[in-house]
């Protein structure tokens, strides 16, 4: 079903993992998608007819401004923004490297803020839009050795609510998706023992597939969720229901 037919979307971190699956889902749904990524080229598997690449460091305001200008100039509008790009570092909280803390906050939280800030004027011109932020189950719970990541993902939830309330009158909806652990290369490469442990954290007894998270993002980006804003959609196999 072409639920995004004629829409123009930006997906940050669209070259891998959940972002890559989201780009694929959105193009299948009829959207034209700008893949904003710090990597130097777009993946060949993406539909080149309906996707184009914008090399962007979302932690830098000038890069983000240029991203929005480039997409608007090429497509004439911006309907959807998916703030997916992120980084993660593990380390004990009392010895966590300062540089890794700042990097995590700069990319995960400040990056989402900058992209949202600079896309809003274009969405206002267009009569509305949808912003979908990637939070996590880790934005809702505490976990050892994940202080920066969890703090950034919790901040995403507050960012989501603030933008949702402030721009509801402009017909701009802002929501968050909160995945559990997902079958990404980093997780799958963590070893069988760790993998079994992570699966056991979810009552459904498995990890999410990137496509399952992408489908939830697609729902929030589309008019199927037209009366939904400020929400945090748990897509976690029951992780936070325990």
The catalytic residues are 149
Contact indicator for 126, 77 with CB cutoff of 8 Å: yes
Contact indicator for 173, 122 with CB cutoff of 8 Å: no
d(CA 126, CA 136): 30
d(CA 238, CA 242): 7
d(CA 50, CA 31): 7
Measured over all CA atoms, what is the biggest interatomic distance in the chain, rounded to whole angstroms? 51
Strand 51-55, strand 32-37: pairing: parallel
At a CB cut-off of 8 Å and minimum separation 6, what does 51 contact? 23, 27, 32, 33, 34, 35, 42
Strands laid side by side in the 80-83 sheet:
51-55, 32-37, 8-12, 80-83, 129-134, 172-179, 232-235
């Amino acid at each position: 079903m072409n639920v995004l037919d004629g829409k123009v979307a930006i997906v940050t971190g669209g070259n891998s993992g959940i972002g890559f699956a989201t780009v694929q889902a959105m193009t299948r749904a009829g959207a034209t998608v700008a893949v904003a990524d710090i990597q130097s080229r777009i993946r060949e598997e993406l539909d080149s007819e309906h996707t184009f690449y914008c090399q962007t460091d979302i932690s830098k305001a000038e890069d983000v401004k240029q991203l929005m200008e480039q997409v608007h100039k090429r497509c004439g509008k911006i309907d959807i923004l998916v703030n997916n790009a992120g980084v993660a570092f593990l380390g004990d909280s009392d010895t966590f490297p300062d540089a890794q803390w700042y990097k995590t906050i700069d990319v995960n939280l400040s990056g989402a803020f900058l992209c949202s800030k600079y896309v809003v004027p274009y969405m206002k011109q267009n009569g509305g839009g949808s912003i979908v932020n990637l939070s996590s189950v880790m934005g809702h719970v505490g976990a050892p050795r994940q202080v920066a990541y969890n703090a950034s993902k919790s901040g995403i939830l507050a960012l989501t609510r603030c933008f949702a309330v402030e721009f509801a009158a402009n017909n701009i909806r802002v929501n968050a998706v909160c995945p559990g652990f997902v079958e990404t290369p980093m997780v799958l490469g963590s070893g069988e023992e760790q993998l079994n442990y992570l699966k056991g954290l979810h009552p459904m007894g498995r990890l999410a597939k990137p496509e399952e998270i992408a489908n939830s993002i697609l729902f929030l980006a589309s008019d199927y969720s037209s009366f939904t804003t400020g929400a945090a959609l748990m897509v976690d196999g029951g992780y936070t229901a325990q």
